[in-house]
Chain A
Amino acid sequence: MVQHISAAMSFDSTAPRALDTASARGAVYADIRFEVARTERIEVRNGVVATLSDSTSRGYGIRALVDGTWGFAAASDTSDAGLDRTAARAVEIAKAGAAIARRRLGEAPPKAYADVFATPVHRDPEDVPLNDRVALLLEAERLLHAGPQIGVGRAWIDLWRTDKYFYSTIGSKIEQSIRQTGCGLQALAVGNGDVQTRTFPGDIGLYASGGWEIVERAALRENASRIAEEAIALLSAPQAPSGVTDLVLGGSQVSLQIHESCGHPAELDRVMGWEANFSGVSFLELDQIDKLKYGSEIVTISIDNTMPGGMATVGYDDEGSRSVRSDIVRDGVLVGYEMSNDTARLIGRESNACVRAESWQYVPMIRMCNLSLRPGEMSFEHLFDDVRDGIYMESNRSWSIDDHRLNFQFGCEIAWEIKNGKRGRLLKNPTYGGITPAFWNSCDAVADAASWVAWGTPNCGKGEPMQSGRTTQAASPARFRGVRVGVGYGG
């Protein structure tokens, strides 16, 4: 970041004006969320700095509740006239919705908070000179060119700082300064009539809340040559087999599996049909709570929006609810959902603060936030011991799941065969598929906490207008029995 823009910013004097305007126009409740977002992206591609950009976006979104119906309006115009116009617009929109509604879905939040939250940052990225940030990527990207087969090398860093100021007519006043950082490498190898890609760390890079320490932890330079050599080796590797076999997934792929097959179906708005026309519905229907055997007994998946390093770690969500920890799947059984105030109330529960908006321009909605698969007892190396014939896959390359979140097919960048408990030869184009509950019920081992990583996802899509969410799925590698593999390649 080139400078601090919002360190001394306060909306204490402007927020009441907007809330008063909304109330005067007929809102029984209103809140306003000011945001100042600073982003920096550096991307090196084949030795050239293809992207070096710095962006500031400042604005606010106002929610107004009229007759049990919400309206939302957002603008970047922070003048008095702009605030008045936007507040009035939010109320007008709510009234237009109320006029045709056969049901009332909205109520004011039950609690107000006055608090401050800031992401812990061990090393501020602003203390690392821009020249050094660029130099790190140039060096890491150069190391990707381990052979003439490498057609494209890429290396990138994303730095995000979002300052939020939330005020409501029931007295909430919450200030939050959220810092998120990510970085990664990718090598694309071309040859033998084929194209193969390797990405590091994981399949999208390492993304977490925090500062420069995340870039240091990623160790891009230390891993670049290995990643490139793997991409080259994949060009001449045999095709991964098709059939039914035992499967060990690397931690980042387990993260993706959690994201798609647990995180999304447990969104309560989806369960209630609020996403039906786009993202879809969910097989985790309300009558399945405390009954559905989602996975085997070793499968416990929790929401923890207080998790250190989680991309969704905040003090309060974007409708002013305090972050908590709660379970979705406990010992294999479905026990909860990701909830907002309104959806939780409709099933007689309290929000677990899973509401986020991409930015000031967007209405807050349910997101999966931080999920975590409880680590097991076994070390990663011992996951292979009991596999006579199987495949180990790492780093997602392709992901698709139906609109009920049941039938999935995922592909990975790289795999190794497993023979008699040992990792064997390299395999390319690995894929696997299944039906969600059957798959999680086939999980018979999760690696221990030593290999548990909070894998951040910086770009989860949901909603209309489409919003990009930042989530985390913390996971260790895990083992699954009798899985269909090779789909898409004859399987």
Chain B
Amino acid sequence: MDREQREDLARRVLAFSHADQTEVLLVDREASLSRFTHDAIHQNVASADLSIAVRAIAEERTGVARTNVLDEASLRDVVARALAIARHAPADPEQPALPVGAPPPAPAEAFAEATARATPQLRAQICEDIFRAGEAGGLWAAGYAATERGGITVVNSNGARASFDGSDAAANVKMNGGDSSGFAEAYDTDVRRLDGTLLGAIAAGKARESAHPRDVEPGPWTVILEPAAFGELFSYIADHFSALSFDEGSSFLSDGLDRTYLGENVTITDDYAHPLAPGMPFDFEGFPTKRLALVEHGVARAVVTDNYWAHKLGRENTGHALPAPNASGPQARNLVVSAGSKNAAQLIAETKRGLLVTRFWYIRTVDQKKAIVTGMTRDGTFLIENGKLTGGVRNMRFNQSILEALCRCEFASELSRTGGYSYSVVVPAVKIENFTFSSGTGF
């Protein structure tokens, strides 16, 4: 469905409602993914769906109902259900009026027609390019190539109107040797910029160069975390920038803004218009998303809000709402960590003894307030001696406070987009002193 069709449908649904206030959110998404192992695609999938969520507010009571059945009766029913649910809900006097704003245009690069029209043959070609890169060296690969397009429209009875069309493409690979592995990934809104051969070559190089890994002792190490590793680590403090975490006391920022929490070289923004991750200029309430400095030179400057939390805390609405109903609070969706001045190769060259980490795995919070997390290295961990990579090491478990790490770090000058199933961030590689590893593995 194109933008005009979505907006027509949203307005039609809105007109069915007799609630005091009504919001209609349409999400139209078509996603495809080809996943391979060894030398064959084993999961090759596509799905298309258009769902409608209706939030009805009547006498300070809120109900939400959703459907993806689009006939007239079902659309009327979803509106009636939202209102019926609202009538059963207790009144919430703190609930503000639904917001109205004028979102700016989306970044031009947020949507690429080539991605929206990508074929299974194109995805298969990217997969083949990747796994062919390992065949000559006796390696086997596992990974995927994915494309998607999405359209989002939000309207409400107070006059809000917002629509966005976006696309995204991604590929990754784990290249496997007898006792080693290597990883590479790429994300782009335009599938034409995904280079399977390059990804395969990077991952194969890491697998070859980390072969015959040696044991090193757990303990404090100087580490250089490549963007995939640092991005996943960093994503574990994303929640701390939410007004909800800030208010309930579980955020490291809860002691107050305008205080220094991190190193003076740490600047963190939330920026939907960053060229590496261009995205939606409004939130799921249709309110404009602010490009926000969250931390400037180590000093906390802001938390992200939505309509409810802005009203509750008496702060500006920064436009970071998730779809209603949302008990998780507002979320930063486009986090960016500013780059440093030296490139990653220089950071390695200046390291007398340390570890280069390609990727982490299964990071989980151990202590929320101190932001202590644990996790494992995987798919390419290297020893650095006298400024050079001198071979692979067996994987290790770390336990580390992210806050403490960000007080003794140095960022590389190149930025990359990295991500996982629950996050997407733009970060540089980073060098961290005294990063604590607590145990090892046999692989």
- Encode contact with A along B270-297: 1 for CB under 8 Å, 0 otherwise: 0000000000000000000000000000
Which chain A positions have C-beta within 8 A of B378?
Answer: 280, 402-403
Which residues of A are found within 8 Å of B42, using beta-carbon distances? 70, 105, 274
Within 8 A of B (CB), among A399-415: 399-404, 406-407, 409, 411
A238 to B16, CA, bound (A): 58
When distances are taken between beta carbons in the complex, the residues of chain A under 8 Å from B443 are 404, 406
Interface centre among A49, A130, A134 (most CB of B within 10 A): A49
Q: What is the bound-complex CA distance between A86 and B47, given in angstroms?
A: 9
Answer yes or no: B89 CB below 8 A from chain A CBs. Answer: yes
User: Does chain B have a CB within 8 A of A345?
Assistant: no
Task: Tell yes or no: A451 within 8 A of B by CB.
Answer: no
A271-284 vs B, Cβ < 8 Å mask (1 yes, 0 no): 01111110010000
Contacts of B326 in A (CB 8 A): 50-51
Q: Are A195 and B250 in contact (CB under 8 A)?
A: yes
Q: Which residues of A contact B438 (CB under 8 A)?
A: 409, 433, 487-488, 491
Point out the residues of chain A lying under 8 angstroms from B142, CB to CB. Answer: 273-277
* Minimum C-beta distance from A231 to chain B (A): 13
Identity of the chain B residue whose Cβ is nearest the Cβ of A96 in the assembled complex: B120
In angstroms, how far is the closest chain B Cβ from the Cβ of A294?
A: 16
Which chain A residue has the least Cβ–Cβ distance from B43?
Answer: A363
Report the separation of the CA atoms of residues A106 and B89 in the bound assembly, to the nearest whole angstrom: 50
B69 within 8 A of A: yes
B49, B67, B368, B372: the one contacting A55 at CB < 8 Å is B67
Partner of B85, one of A50, A52, A89, A92: A52
Residues of B with C-beta under 8 A to A70: 42-44
Tell me the bound Cα distance from A280 to B379 in angstroms: 10
Identify the stretch in A71-79, A170-178, A199-207, A315-323 within 8 Å (CB) of chain B at 4 or more residues: A71-79
- For window 344-400 of B, CB contacts with A under 8 Å fall at 361-369, 372, 374-376, 378, 395, 397, 399
**B64: A residues at CB distance < 8 A:** 51-54
CB of B84 within 8 Å of the partner chain: yes
Interface size band for B: 35 or more
Does A209 interact with chain B (Cβ within 8 Å)?
Answer: no
B256 near A: Cβ within 8 Å?
no
CA distance A97 to B145 in the complex (A): 12
Contact A488 B366 (CB under 8 A): yes
Instruction: Give every chain A residue within 8 A of B39 (Cβ-Cβ).
Output: 101-103
Quote the shortest CB–CB distance from B4 to chain A (angstroms).
Answer: 19
Which of A195, A406, A431 neighbours the largest number of chain B CB atoms within 10 Å of its CB? A195
A405-449 residues at the B interface, CB under 8 angstroms: 406-407, 409, 411, 429, 431, 433
Contact of A97 among B63, B120, B248 (CB under 8 A): B120
Let me know if A100 and B397 touch, CB within 8 A. no
Q: Which residues of B contact A411 (CB under 8 A)?
A: 366
Taking a contact as CB atoms under 8 Å apart, the answer to whether B367 and A99 are in contact is: no
Once A52-B88, A53-B65, A73-B47 are accepted as A-B contacts, the answer to whether A96 and B121 lie under 8 Å apart by CB is: yes
Contact check, B47 vs A487: say whether CB atoms are below 8 A apart: no
* Given A52-B88, A69-B40: A398 in contact with B45 (beta carbons within 8 A): no
A138 touching B68, Cβ below 8 Å: no
Within the assembled complex, what's the spacing in Å between the Cα atoms of A276 and B35? Answer: 11
A129-152 interface with B by 8 A CB criterion: 130-131, 134, 138, 151-152
- Tell me if B406 counts as interface (CB < 8 A to partner A): no
**Distance A446 CA – B227 CA, assembled complex (angstroms):** 44
Instruction: Check A93–B48 contact: CB distance below 8 A.
Output: no
A190 & B327 in contact (Cβ 8 Å cutoff): no
Q: Which residue of B lies closest to A82 (CB)?
A: B48
A226 within 8 A of B: no
- B158 contacts the other chain (Cβ, under 8 Å)? no
B393-412 interface (Cβ within 8 A of A):
395, 397, 399
Closest A residue, CB atoms, query B127: A100
Across the interface, do A400 and B92 meet the contact criterion of CB distance under 8 Å? Answer: no
Chain A CB within 8 A of B62 CB: yes
Chain A 60-91 interface mask (CB, 8 Å, partner B; 1/0): 01000000011111111100000000100100
Provided the pairs A92-B120, A100-B128, A461-B421 are in contact, do residues A72 and B45 lie with their beta carbons within 8 angstroms? Answer: yes
A409 touches B374 (CB 8 A): yes
Contact flags (1/0) for B128-164 with A, using CB distance below 8 Å? Answer: 1000000000001011101000000000000000000
B250 to chain A: closest residue by CB: A195
Contacting pair B374 A195 (CB below 8 A): no
Chain A residues near B47 (CB-CB < 8 A): 61, 73-75, 361-362
Contact in complex: B41, A464 (CB < 8 Å): no
User: Given known contacts A53-B85, A276-B176, A488-B367, is B44 in contact with A77 (CB within 8 Å)?
Assistant: no
Contact of A188 among B32, B85, B248, B372 (CB under 8 A): B248
Q: Which of A71, A100, A365 is most buried by chain B, counting CB atoms within 10 A of its CB?
A: A100
- When the two chains form their complex, are residues A74 and B40 in contact, meaning their CB atoms are under 8 A apart? no
A466 within 8 A of B: yes
> Which residue from B31, B128, B183, B250 sits with its C-beta under 8 Å from A465?
B31
Residues of A near B314 (CB, < 8 A) are none
Q: How far is the CA of A276 from the CA of B127 in the complex (A)?
A: 15
Q: Chain A residues near B35 (CB, 8 Å)? A: 277, 464
B26 close to chain A: CB less than 8 A: no
**Cβ contact within 8 Å between A398 and B43:** no
Q: Which of A51, A361, A404, A464 contacts B327 (CB 8 A)?
A: A51
- Using CB atoms, name the residue of chain A closest to B400: A488
Closest to B148 in A: A465
Tell me whether A464 and B176 are in contact in the complex, defined as CB-CB below 8 angstroms, given that A53-B85, A400-B362 are known contacts. Answer: no
Instruction: Kindly state the separation between the CA atoms of A105 and B40 in the bound complex, as whole angstroms.
Output: 8
Most chain-B Cβ atoms within 10 A of its Cβ — which of A2, A56, A70, A102?
A56
Question: Does residue A127 face the partner (Cβ distance < 8 Å to B)?
Answer: no
- State whether B50 touches A76 (Cβ < 8 A): yes
> Contact between B395 and A399 (Cβ–Cβ < 8 Å)?
no
Verify if B337 is at the interface (C-beta below 8 Å from A): no
Known: A52-B64, A75-B47, A76-B49. A102 touches B40 (CB 8 A): yes
Give the distance in Å from the alpha carbon of A406 to the alpha carbon of B86 in the complex. Answer: 48
A86 to B372, CA, bound (A): 47
CB distance from A70 to the nearest CB of B (A): 6
In the complex, what distance in Å separates the CA atom of A29 from the CA atom of B162?
44
Q: Does B418 contact A (CB under 8 A)?
A: no
Contact of A57 with B51 in the complex, beta carbons under 8 Å: yes
A194 at the interface (CB under 8 A from B): yes
A52 and B89: CB pair below 8 A? yes
Point out the residues of chain A lying under 8 angstroms from B249, CB to CB.
151, 188, 190, 195
Are A76 and B68 within 8 A (Cβ)? Answer: yes
User: Which residue from B94, B123, B327, B375 sits with its C-beta under 8 Å from A400?
Assistant: B375
Which residues from chain A contact B361 at a C-beta distance below 8 Å?
280, 402-403
Q: How far, in whole Å, are A465 and B124 apart by their CA atoms in the complex?
A: 16
- Write out the residue numbers on chain B whose beta carbons fall within 8 Å of the beta carbon of A401: 362, 376
Interface residue? B66 (CB, 8 A) = yes
With A131-B88, A134-B90 given, can you name 15 additional A-B contacts, CB distance below 8 Å? A53-B65, A56-B74, A69-B41, A70-B43, A86-B48, A99-B121, A273-B37, A273-B140, A274-B142, A277-B174, A361-B49, A404-B441, A407-B376, A464-B421, A488-B367
The 7 closest A-B pairs by CB, nearest first: A96-B120, A276-B142, A102-B39, A51-B325, A97-B41, A74-B47, A190-B249
19 A-B residue pairs with CB within 8 Å: A43-B327, A48-B90, A50-B327, A52-B86, A52-B325, A54-B66, A75-B48, A93-B120, A96-B34, A103-B39, A154-B327, A188-B249, A194-B369, A273-B140, A273-B176, A277-B172, A401-B376, A409-B397, A429-B367
**Residues in B lying within 8 Å of A, measured CB to CB:** 31-35, 37-51, 62-69, 74, 78, 81-82, 84-86, 88-90, 92, 94, 119-121, 123-125, 127-128, 140, 142-144, 146, 172-174, 176, 183, 248-250, 325-327, 361-369, 372, 374-376, 378, 395, 397, 399, 421, 438-443
